[in-house]
Amino acid sequence: MNQEQRRKLYIQGFNDGVDSTQDYLVKALYGAAALAAHREFKFGSARCLKLLNAMDKLLMDYFTSQEIVDQAWEETGLQINFRDAIEPFEEVKKGETD
């Protein structure tokens, strides 16, 4: 096997890993949203389905994850920042630093 063949296999393996990780994360986030809505707010299956469909539509409507995060802050006052391992979600009032 030459260097070019190894490089192609490496890239293919890397991309396969990214694809499977993304698939896992998306499924886990949708599942977590449904469970949280059910446990915290007593959503039944119909309301959970409505929530998941609304989430899916939002993901299709926005081009980047940052756009969704910015819109969430604009509409709800919730700042989402996963670089803060202690408090990744914070309620921020208008006029305070974001």
Question: What would the pLDDT profile of 43-64 be if each residue is shown by its tens digit?
Answer: 999 999 999 999 989 988 988 8
Tell me: do 28 and 73 sit in the same domain.
Answer: no
Tell me: do 56 and 68 sit in the same domain.
Answer: no
Tell me: do 40 and 87 sit in the same domain.
Answer: no
Residue-number span of the structural domain to which 96 is assigned:
63-98
Tell me: do 8 and 40 sit in the same domain.
Answer: yes
- Give the pLDDT mean for 19-31: 83
User: In which residue are the tokens 């007593």 written?
Assistant: 42
How far, in Å, CA of 72 to CA of 74, rounded?
Answer: 5
By C-alpha distance, which of 94, 62, 65 is closest to 77? Answer: 94
Number of domains in the chain: 2
User: In which residue are the tokens 């990780």 written?
Assistant: 21
Tell me: do 67 and 55 sit in the same domain.
Answer: no
Give percent of the chain with pLDDT exceeding 70. Answer: 94
Tell me: do 7 and 38 sit in the same domain.
Answer: yes
